[in-house]
Amino acid sequence: MTTATPQPGQLIVITGPSGVGKGTLLRQLRQRHPELALSVSATTRPPRPTEIEGIDYYFVSVEDFQAMIAAGKLLEWAEFAGHYYGTPRDPLLQLIAQGKTVILEIELQGARQVRQSYPQARHIFILPPSLAELEHRLRNRGQDSEEAIARRLAQAETEIAAAPEFDVQIVNDDLEKSLIALETAIFSPVP
Ligand SMILES: Nc1nc2c(ncn2[C@@H]2O[C@H](COP(=O)(O)OP(=O)(O)O)[C@@H](O)[C@H]2O)c(=O)[nH]1
Ligand SMILES: Nc1ncnc2c1ncn2[C@@H]1O[C@H](COP(=O)(O)OP(=O)(O)O)[C@@H](O)[C@H]1O
């Protein structure tokens, strides 16, 4: 008996400033569509109290991260707010080969690398209603030190200026409306 090789799955890149609501949107999206795969990144950032190894991130040392870069194990990587973040290449390519739609939640420099190395990916940018609301969400989340919040806000304006590079832009004001916009962006047919 032969098994047909599945059609390759789609790669979806989701980017937006820290605190805009990417994690919140993706958690709800996955509840509605458990068949979607979320890539788990490696990072040198220390875990937050609620985060779980292997689910939220693979938490690694700087030495281990540099070894992953040297061994070509990362599809893309970047430094953000004083820490390294990167996407493990092999698990991602395996999921795509199995026909899964895979979502990468990554920052701008990484999204640009994926555009170069994997041009078929669909790129979505999540915008805040305003910078003041972004700051409010970061503070309200209560997960980061003042220094970490300041670094994230400093990065936000550069990232927002790059939103037009993306295929789709969604303003995360009303969460339910943003979720519907995200579903439309992910599930609409490839042009
Ligand atoms: N380039 C890249 N960025 C990543 C990766 N994983 C997470 N990020 C981004 O790194 C930034 C900081 O993430 P994190 O420390 O979890 O903070 P948060 O976004 O404020 O919850 C966010 O913009 C993430 O989208 C990755 O594998 N590669
Ligand atoms: N549409 C929204 N309206 C109001 N608050 C939101 C909305 N989306 C997310 N948030 C809140 O904003 C904060 C940051 O969201 P989070 O998902 O952690 O952002 P990110 O993953 O982009 O850093 C959280 O406290 C979250 O509950």
Q: How much distance in Å is there from the Cα of 3 to the middle of ligand 2?
A: 43
Residue 1 lies in a domain: no
SS3 content of the chain, % helix, strand, coil (to 5): 45, 20, 35
SS3 (DSSP) at 94: helix
The gap between the terminal CA atoms of the chain, to the nearest Å, is 35
Q: How much distance in Å is there from the Cα of 81 to the middle of ligand 1?
A: 9
Structure tokens belonging to residue 107 = 């920052």
pLDDT tens digits, residue range 52-81?
Answer: 999 999 999 999 999 999 999 999 999 998
CATH number for the domain that contains residue 154? 3.40.50.300
What integer pLDDT is reported at residue 191 of this predicted model?
A: 67
Domain hosting 92: range is: 11-187
Q: Rounded to the nearest 5°, which phi and psi values hold at 7? A: -60, 140
Structure tokens belonging to residue 140 = 């309200």
Q: What share of the chain has pLDDT > 70, as a percent? A: 98
Please give the tally of structural domains in the chain. Answer: 1
Residue 4 lies in a domain: no
Would the pTM of this model clear 0.90, i.e. be above it?
A: yes
